[in-house]
Chains A and B, each alone.
Chain A
Amino acid sequence: MNGLLAFSRVIDTVNRHLGKVANWMVLLSCVISAGNAASRYTISVSSNAWLEIQWYMFAAMFMLGASYTLARNEHVRVDIIYGHLSTRAQIWVDIIGGILFLLPATVILAWMSWPIFHNSWVSGEVSPNAGGLIRWPVKIFLPLGFWLLTLQGVSEIIKRVAMLTGHMEANLHYERPLQ
């Protein structure tokens, strides 16, 4: 169990740091987008590369950030039943859900999205817009993000099992995320 928990801690640390990268994407994409609009009218400059980098950053934001959000238990749930369960039952929901819902979905998506990145990488695909960006750096976030989420799902299951077996303090704070 201790070996597994160490593995889980490594995953958590990696995804926490990637979460920080995702945080930066919020501020950077925001400044770039405002800058794009401002420069179009003040100095009549606009470039497809700068327009595209916005959504590259957006992609990075949620593909890298979703794992950290999962680690923080902030993916929204329907809690009419879940909210009234005992802590043990909530742990079981997370274990079963993790194995039957999350992992199959993320593994299939990661596996199916690899060719999208790979084809783009091999063909050197470039944006159809004039002056646009090369495509593979954004497409790599598809398989990467889904694999990271798979790993985080494994880490969450390890932690839940440790909670059940008493290797870890049960701490399942769930609060519906602010909007």
Chain B
Amino acid sequence: MITRELMAPVMFGGLVVFMLIGYPVAFSLAAVGLFFGFIGIESGYFELALLHALPERVFGIMANDLLLAIPFFTFMGAVLERCGLAEDLLEGMGQLFGPVRGGLAYAVIIVGAILGAITGTVAASVIAMGLISLPIMMRYKYDMQLATGVIAASGTITQLIPPSLVLVVLADQLGRSVGDMYAGAIGPSIVQVLLFCAYVLILSIVRPAAMPALPRDALTLKGWALIGRILWGMVPSLVLIFLVLGTILMGLATPTEGGAMGAVGAIALAAMHRRLTWKLLWEGMDSTMRITAMVIYILIGSTIFSLVFRGVDGDLWIEHMLASLPGGSVGFLIVVNLFVFVLAFFLDFFEIAFIIIPLLAPVAQKLGIDLIWFGVLLGANMQTSFMHPPFGFALFYLRGISPREVKSSDIYWGAIPWVVLQLILVAMLIFWPGMVTYWLEKPVVEEPSKIELQFQTPDYELEAPESAPAEGATPREPGEPPASSNDRAADDIERALKQSR
């Protein structure tokens, strides 16, 4: 049998092997958990009672309001993808920036950021922008690698820009509020958009032929017509941003409700564009349901895995390994980010978030790392998982919708500079946490212990005389000291409180 010390490493190795077989992740996770669970019970490392906690955990997943945001944001993305908003935005922005060298690339980045602030799914952005912008960029002889790269990258920034699904899931796994997570992500989102624009600017100086300005006759809209066009795209976007992000950040709605209102808003927008059909709605519901079931089952599987993994002290093993790294918290962050970056080649963010984050979070907390910062950092890192050639989702979508003359190698090579830009952002975040924490409201002395104390002490003093007769009513054994040890402890606490005030 396996010794207790070896259980955790062997179990982790088992996880890798079981997942590589290629059977659906959710069930492989559950199987690893149960398999090692029974080994553990047979070896007497823990009781069967540990596994009886499982159904309650699954029920906890059902009753978790926050997870309801997953179907809502997915549904919103599915409707937005086809409601015509991206077209409107791109047409206006393309005409506005067109005369500048690299203008179409700026337009894609900005529209990607706006779409990112509305919704939280990559597919919607990449597909919509790829369908519209790629043909135009090809017609005006943009460098193919630049064109595909900028579209894929701008589609993935929606992962970091609130209200992103990644941040909701990370907040849930790290036990932090979604609102704080969103606030923390604002700074890095802005920096990322600026980084992307700066890259295009530099390229437009170094290699002007790669991104010609639009010729005069391509600019069909001028003056008021152009302004009208831009407003036609911007106004509904701003309304949606307010409905979702605004209500969440102002504390008017929970993230879940924000997602629901966004989805209803997207449906209304589709109706406005006369694109709302029963087929569109049903397909959206259908794909949303299947994605939700898939994601939640990964969570169920990883719940089983982590319950048993903790049972064999896997959390202590991980903590021991990571906490003894050289370089303290910076060393930890660098190693963790490299680890997640490599994992992102093979796993999607849901899998990383559900399997890895629960193991890392306690260690991060012990090292005194702000979990909001940690979450945003990992969110920025996991964004690259959408861009890794050849498995990245964004590249995969782009391949699916681009014309035949676009070579796969162009898509893959085109992605690399943008992955590097995202890594630069990750590095900046590690060494400059202020980018995240600046946007968080300063905590208003919200240490629960202090607040409770202020309420309790006067109560105690008021109640003390009243409770005395009540206590006397209970028959007291003769010989028992008048004040029980509990009372003495209470006195000590009260004295300590008075001193602290």
Contacts and interface: CB of A to CB of B under 8 A. Distances in A.
B350 to A, nearest CB: 8
Given A59-B62, A108-B34, A177-B290, A27 B281 contact: yes
B257 A22 contact: no
B28 A97 contact: yes
B243 to A, nearest CB: 9
A54 B65 contact: yes
Contacts of B256: 33, 54
Given A65-B290, A105-B30, A142 B71 contact: no
B462 to A, nearest CB: 28
B393 A176 contact: yes
* Main secondary structure on A side of the interface with B: helix
A22 B289 contact: yes
B178 to A, nearest CB: 15
Contacts of A131: none
A38 B265 CA distance: 12
A22 B75 CA distance: 13
B148 interface: no
Given A33-B68, A62-B293, A141-B62, A102 B27 contact: yes
B25 A78 contact: yes
Nearest to A41: B252
Contact of B27 (A101, A113, A177): A101
A37 B247 contact: yes
A72 interface: yes
A147 to B, nearest CB: 13
- Taking residues whose C-beta sits less than 8 angstroms from the other chain, chain A's interface range is 35 or more
B257 A65 contact: no
Contact count band on B? 35 or more
A23 to B, nearest CB: 4
Contacts of B25: 75-78
Interface string B292-320: 11101110010010000000000000000
Contacts of A168: none
Given A109-B55, A179-B122, A37 B257 contact: yes
The 5 A-B pairs of least Cβ separation, nearest first, read A82-B22, A97-B23, A75-B24, A33-B260, A101-B31
Given A70-B24, A112-B55, 18 more contacts: A23-B285, A26-B284, A34-B260, A55-B68, A65-B292, A68-B290, A75-B297, A79-B22, A80-B391, A97-B21, A98-B23, A116-B59, A139-B59, A142-B55, A178-B291, A179-B74, A179-B122, A179-B348
Interface of B: 18-28, 30-31, 34, 51-52, 54-56, 58-59, 62-65, 67-68, 71-72, 74-75, 121-123, 247, 252-254, 256-261, 263-264, 281-282, 284-294, 296-298, 301, 304, 346-348, 350-351, 391, 393, 396-397
Interface of A: 19, 22-27, 29-34, 36-38, 41, 54-55, 58-59, 61-63, 65-66, 68-70, 72, 74-83, 85, 90, 93-94, 96-98, 100-102, 104-105, 108-109, 112-113, 115-116, 138-139, 141-142, 176-179
